[in-house]
Amino acid sequence: MDPVPPDSVNAVGDGRPSWNEYFMAITDLVASRATCLRRKVGAVLVKDKRILCSGYNGAPSQIPHCIQTGCLREQLKVPSGEKHELCRGVHAEQNVIIQAAYHGIAVAGATLYCTTQPCSICAKMIINAGIKKVYFKEGYDDPLSLEMFAQAGVELIQLD
């Protein structure tokens, strides 16, 4: 059973946002907490129309954020989409899975809403966490991510 209807219009027609619009709007609010200087990303894990957890990108807890130290990737002139390990930040998708684990929340079978298409590192975590569907708004140039999602049977859906 699909926990979130794929339609973008509320079936009742009462002016409320669809479930996809609702959860995606929440990812934008979550992203506003991000401390990355290059890209603000928010993620929300949902199951049975209930929010399980949220995450945004930024440095690990107790570590100075890039807004305080400057961007390591900018300093090293690392292009977007390359050498993800050369970064102080934890991706929003990683943080939402970490937060769920930290609080003992099962995520198998959940749906992930994210402001940006997950990279290949996040794709591996999403697949192994048992997340079955990913909705995102903004694309990200990472063909390996797309290939792995397809091979694992994780549905990847871009929303407007």
Q: Is 122 annotated as a binding residue?
A: yes
Q: Is 138 a catalytic residue?
A: no
Q: Is 91 annotated as a binding residue?
A: yes
Active-site residue, selected from the candidate residues 21, 74, 85, 93: 93
Cβ neighbours for 5, distance < 8 A, ≥ 6 positions apart: 11, 18, 19, 20
Give the other-Cβ count within 10 Å of 15's Cβ.
6
Q: What's at 156, amino acid-wise?
A: L
Q: Is 119 annotated as a binding residue?
A: yes
CA–CA separation, 105 and 126 (whole Å): 15
Write out the binding residues for Zn(2+).
91, 119, 122
Active site residues: 93
Binding residue ranges: 91, 119, 122
